[in-house]
Chain A
Amino acid sequence: MKRTVPLIITFLTGFFLVVSFFVPHEPFGALEQRLLVWFAIVSGFTMLLGVDSLIRSHVRKVAGRRPGWWHSVALLIGLAVTVVTGAIGFSRFGSPFHMQSPFMFLYTHSIIPLQGTMFALLAFFIASASYRAFRARNTIATLLLVSAVIVMLGRIPIGAAISHFFPAAQEWIMDVPQLAAKRGIQIGAALGAVSMSLRIMLGIERSYLS
């Protein structure tokens, strides 16, 4: 019961999705859409488990007065304030996402800048990674380096000003060798993914519930 039922559920879910892909006739055709809606609903409930896990782990830190516990207080306050403003937005404006809702104020002035800044860190990390990683250690590493530099130069007006070679070479590298390797990788990865999915569906691979 504890092991067989989940295996059957996995198999049937996967099987019906595959059938739905090939059989447009009702009731199979709409199964894919339906199962995806179900998936979204189940993940909605699971979100409660996630938030519960987050709250518990930080309540533990606060209760145990672990180092930096007051940061956990900030986290819990942030979480609570967001959920409460969301509820206020829902009850007063009919949607938490209404422009006037305090929830959106929080979104605009905390999540947007936080998101933008974390994202912007990439500019720094891409610089430090290029400094360190692009070294002509051997033939293959040299190719990596040369193609990166050509594409970098080809994407800015100065590159074109130096020589028309750069924008043209940039385009060619992106369109031909870059695309070729990407395709090769994707075909292999797709086969790997199909075989992995099959193993899971058929219960050969079952580490998730063994």
Chain B
Amino acid sequence: MPEIVRKSFWERLNDIDRRIIFLILLVTVTLPLLLDLGGEIPPTSPVIRAHAAVEGLRPGDHLMVSIDFDATSAPELMPMLRAVLRQAFAKDVKVIMLGHLAIGLPLGHMALEQIAAEYDVEYGVDYVDLGYRPGFQAVMIAMGRSIEDVFATDYQGTPVSELPIMQNVRSYDDVELLFGFEHGAVIDYWVRYTQARFGQKMAFGTTAVMAPDAYPYLQADQIEGLVGGLKGAAEYETLIGRPGLGTRGMPAQEWAHLLVIGFIVVGNIGHYFTRKKREGGR
């Protein structure tokens, strides 16, 4: 007979409004970000080596930074980029940015300006953004002879001959280290052309998915170091002593994982009890 059946706790839990799930997830991810709950992530050898390569630069040395990713991999690669830029500026190392992904370069530029503002550095003197030129293989090879041949101007169109930072930089010979941030095949060309041909020292940050592919380069000592995924970024931040998105992101990542598993468990408990009730009522 029809009557108002009060829903049991488990039934209500079963049909919970999904917005409550959204909210719990939001809180779970936001809290570790806000409160900096992440302990330090102990660095592993590939990251230690990458850090040491930058650390080995002396004031006035030139670090070339290549932006070879776009928005889809920014959550993983931006924390590394920030960490490397901070380390470089703190050591008075001069930064030359360029990139082989036209649509990704604006991201790198934003990070460069942001981090530069934290330090007492000046555009054109301590750092420069050369921008993008099409045809990355040709660009890589040509820079071995003359950077100015390819990048006659910086991203704003200022001739590099007018930029103090570029006065002593003619080719790879004057670049002490290259740090590439990669989410695709460009890394293979950096190694194949610039490392093999010109003996350029280089280190890379890659997405977690790409890292295994880049590992052989590290094992063969073709590259100085390798930072992979958000975890690698967290390790790098530990090494420079400036916790950032990597360090904060890792606990957020873990918590969210555990939360989703928790959801599955709770959903199943609810399912178990309501099924008992359904079967009992029959």
Q: Enumerate A128-175 residues with CB–CB distance to B below 8 Å.
A: 128, 130-132, 134-137, 145, 148-149, 152-153, 155-158
Q: Enumerate A97-127 residues with CB–CB distance to B below 8 Å.
A: 97-100, 104, 107-108, 112, 115-116, 119, 123-124, 126-127
Task: Report if A152-B260 is in contact (Cβ < 8 Å); known contacts: A116-B71, A128-B21.
Answer: yes
Task: Report if A152-B257 is in contact (Cβ < 8 Å); known contacts: A107-B103, A130-B263, A131-B264.
Answer: yes
We find that the number of chain B residues with CB closer than 8 angstroms to chain A is 39
What does the 1/0 interface line of B1-43 toward A look like (CB < 8 Å)? Answer: 0000000000000001010011001100100000000000000
Q: How distant is the Cα of A136 from the Cα of B18 in the complex, in angstroms?
A: 20
Partner of A135, one of B102, B109, B253, B271: B271
Confirm or deny: B256 has a beta carbon within 8 angstroms of a beta carbon on chain A.
yes
Partner of B107, one of A112, A134, A152: A112
Tell me how far the C-beta of B109 lies from the nearest C-beta in chain A, rounded to whole angstroms: 7
Q: Which residues of chain A come closer than 8 Å to B105, judged between CB atoms?
A: 99
Partner of B253, one of A97, A130, A156: A156
Interface size class of A (residues with CB under 8 A): 20 to 34
Q: Which residue of A lies closest to B129 (CB)?
A: A99
Partner of A152, one of B102, B106, B131, B261: B261
Confirm or deny: B144 has a beta carbon within 8 angstroms of a beta carbon on chain A.
no
Tell me how far the C-beta of B16 lies from the nearest C-beta in chain A, rounded to whole angstroms: 8
Q: Is the CB of A131 within 8 A of B156?
A: no
Q: Is the CB of A127 within 8 A of B268?
A: no
Known pairs A130-B260, A149-B261. 16 more at Cβ < 8 A? A97-B103, A99-B132, A100-B157, A107-B103, A108-B107, A112-B106, A115-B71, A124-B25, A127-B21, A131-B18, A131-B21, A131-B263, A135-B271, A137-B271, A153-B261, A156-B258
Q: List 20 A-B contacts (CB under 8 A).
A: A97-B103, A99-B105, A99-B131, A100-B155, A107-B103, A112-B74, A112-B107, A115-B72, A116-B74, A127-B259, A127-B260, A134-B268, A137-B271, A148-B264, A149-B261, A152-B257, A155-B257, A156-B257, A156-B258, A158-B258
- Interface residues of chain A, those whose CB is within 8 Å of chain B, are 93, 97-100, 104, 107-108, 112, 115-116, 119, 123-124, 126-128, 130-132, 134-137, 145, 148-149, 152-153, 155-158
